[in-house]
Amino acid sequence: MTPQRKMEMVHLTQILILLLCLVPTHILCVSNCNFAAIFNFGDSNSDTGGLSAAFGQAPYPNGETFFHAPAGRFSDGHLLIDFIAEGLDLPYLSAFLDSIGSNFSHGANFATAGSTIRPQNTTMAQSGYSPISVDVQGVQFSDFHTRSQIIRQKGRLSQALYTFNIGQNDLTAGYELNMSTDQVKAYVPDLLSQLSNIIKKVYAKGGRSFWIHNTGPVGCLPYVMDHFMITAAQVNKYGLYGCANSFNELRKELPLAAFTYVDVYSVKYSSIGHAKKLRFENPFLACCGHGGKYNYNRFIKCGSKKMVNGKEIVIASSCMDPSVRVSWDGTHFTKAANKWIIDQIVNGSFSDPPIPFEFGLQQS
């Protein structure tokens, strides 16, 4: 991979951000939000147990800070979706695929780690991408809608908040298949078309309030910097990418919907660029990992074990204090970083429209 192509990969994140901006016609919520439920669609950034239920639990030390045990999340504690649920005084979302201890009376989470917008023509063993792409999540939601009488009778589908946090894996999937930057750029419109189709289907089932995150700064993540040898200097060269454009097609087609676009990219980039000021340590150093420049090894993930002298030991353990790290495992953020991020976005500063989404977040 040439230096130019490595740097173009960072630019690709900007492309998806520009295309994902949804201009709203109504304010989602100013205060006293009374959402009866949350339905989430996404990847590992909002997966609360989907992948673990289907392919095996994310191992300890995932979950160590808050849950004190593996809890289906690829983090030491809360994800943004957990803080959103807390702020709305709702239970944490159960994964749709999880049959153990689940409660779907206040919504469901269809996200699975490794999910993409566009289905990948590979197995999970080959590429690491989940077969449960967003179109499959849409089918699961439709099935939930059909079968969940309690939710439907109480009108919670129309009174629910629908959150979307997906697209990050689509930006790297092409490079994993050795596609050129131009080839990856070429399928971005199809990504947006497929995401729009799912939103339209949810709207047709009664969904009206949509909270949509753009992708995070993919080029700043240790797993990308390590795999594609992108340096911190190259990342910083491109500065802060925000939302500079928008499209109105969904607004025209779905006149009763309220869209709130959240520029999570800018907030996450800020947590990395101003880490020391925010009292975080090296933002490119993973808390839970094994070796290498960024304490990241793609073949030895967080919680990995090996046999040593007949005893199984964890060789990819967590750092002493996850609260001072931004990156949890080289791919995902720590609970502390997620808490800082949610604190920045609830006042509307990074939302379109810039109206406070007054959660009144609880401290955890």
Residues 6+ apart with CB under 8 A from 75: 62, 63, 328, 329, 332, 333, 334, 335, 338
Residue 63: predicted pLDDT: 97
Residues labelled as active-site residues: 44, 329, 332
Q: How far from 341 is each of 83, 91, 264, 292, 347, CA to CA, in Å? A: 10, 20, 8, 27, 11
**Model pLDDT, residue 240:** 30
So what's the pLDDT on residue 139? 96
Q: What is the structure's pLDDT at 229?
A: 65
Cβ neighbour number for residue 189 with a 10 Å cutoff: 11
pTM (global) more than 0.75: yes
What was the pLDDT predicted at 6? 55
CA distance 221 to 311: 33
Structure tokens at 65: 């800070």
Identify the DSSP state of 238: T
Averages of pLDDT over each 10 residues, the chain, 364 residues: 56 53 40 78 97 95 96 97 93 96 94 94 84 96 87 75 92 77 80 90 92 83 75 46 39 80 89 93 95 91 92 93 97 97 91 66 41
- pLDDT for residue 245: 34
Chain centroid, CA 256 distance in Å: 26
Query: CA gyration radius for the chain?
Result: 19
What are the domain boundaries of the chain? 3-273+333-352
Q: Are 60 and 69 in contact (CB under 8 A)?
A: yes
Would you state the structure tokens that stand for residue 336, as one six-digit string?
Answer: 């502390």
Q: Please tell me the predicted confidence (pLDDT) of residue 357.
A: 65
Burial of 101 (0-12, 13-18, 19+ CB in 10 A): exposed
Q: What is the pLDDT of residue 115?
A: 96
**What backbone torsions phi and psi does residue 261 show, to the nearest 5 degrees?**
-95, 130
Distance CA 194, CA 213 (A): 16
Distances (CA, A) of 180 to 15, 20, 183, 245: 15, 22, 5, 25
